Amino acid sequence: MKKIIILVPIFNDWDSFQKLILEINESVKDFKNFSFDCIVVNDASTNETPKLRKPDKIHSLKILTMKKNKGHARCNAFGIRYISQNENFDYLILMDGDGEDRPVELKSIIKKILENPNKSVVAKRIKRSEGLFFKFLYSMHKIITLIFAGEKINFGNYTCLTKENVILISSKGSLWSSYSGTIKKYIKDFDTVDSIRGNRYVGPSKMSLYTLIIHSFSIIAVFKFQVLTRSIFIILVLMFFKTKLGIISIFFQSVVFLFCIMIYLVSLREKKDELISSQENLKNIQNIIH
């Protein structure tokens, strides 16, 4: 029997998680050839952890509580490294705990790994639930990523990784800053399933404009050398047309230059040493038996 671990980062959003785990249980109940564990990374929540119950189709439910809050991306990075070193498993599924990664889509993800057991799977976003402004910014992010990094990245955290790929990325410094960027850079061959971004179970989104920009730049920063090469080319082209474009050429050269500086600064978030030592931030482990 193959074992799948579902990794969920949580900061205070326990009401959402209690609904999520029940929907996960419902979605996986028909897959008799798999055993399912759930590991929650509690990112130093300020709310008290409620009394949780383990659904019948989840073999084990484990809460890893952190000493200090590190943020969503680093919770995932810690969880991936912890699982790679401490757990026996065949596949690892990452999903958010607020309902935006819809548990019903676990069915299509698991069916896909049944078709190709040796390939990881990413949930490709084909429809989003956010407002027009967020959708516009997301479209701009994809265009900028394609222009400067040469990569099309249309997926987020909702993925299923083979054990081999988990081990592969578990020591990459970029994982500490961007999960999807790391997947795109180091895993060259993966399958996709269509995914619709769900609505949050409880409350509004916690993603601010600032957080969204840092998230976007963190993805692009994984490909900082491609960004540098392409930026130099763009600046040279703009210099060539300087006589025709005049001040417009100078303006866009300055924008590209500043963009490179910002990408470099964001790339400093990629700290391999902090990833390697991230288990030092683990406060305690709680096993939910019933």
The answer to whether the Cα torsion of 269, 270, 271, 275 is positive or negative is positive
H-type alpha helices, 222-283:
224-240, 242-245, 247-267, 272-276
- Is 21 exposed, middle or buried (CB count within 10 Å of its CB: 0-12, 13-18, 19+)? buried
CA distance linking residue 202 with residue 14, whole number of Å: 10
Phi, psi at residue 44, to the nearest 5°?
A: 55, 50
pLDDT value, residue 125: 86
- Per DSSP, 284 falls in state E
Q: Which of 88, 168, 160, 85 is nearest to 119 (CA)?
A: 160
How high is the pLDDT of residue 128? 61
Report the distance separating Cα 237 and Cα 147, nearest Å.
Answer: 14
Give residue 191's pLDDT. Answer: 96
Output the pLDDT for position 133.
Answer: 73
State the Cα–Cα distance between residues 95 and 60, nearest whole angstrom: 17
| 161 SS3 class | strand
Structure tokens at 58: 């989840």
Contact 266, 177 (CB under 8 A): yes
Residue pair 288/54 in contact by the 8 Å Cβ criterion: yes
Residues in the chain, overall count: 290
In angstroms, the first-to-last Cα distance of the chain is: 22
Q: How would you write the pLDDT of the chain (290 residues) with one tens digit per residue?
A: 899 999 999 999 999 999 999 999 999 999 999 999 999 999 999 988 888 999 999 999 999 999 999 999 999 999 999 999 999 999 999 999 998 999 999 999 999 999 999 999 999 988 765 667 777 887 888 899 999 999 999 899 999 999 999 999 999 999 999 999 999 999 989 999 999 988 888 877 766 677 788 889 999 999 999 999 999 999 999 888 888 888 888 899 999 999 999 999 999 999 999 999 999 999 999 999 87
CA nearest 113: which of 158, 160, 179? 160
pLDDT at 203: 74
Report the alpha-carbon angle 241-243-248, nearest 5: 70
SS3 147: helix
The answer to whether 175 and 77 have CB atoms below 8 angstroms apart is yes
Distance CA 41, CA 96 (A): 11
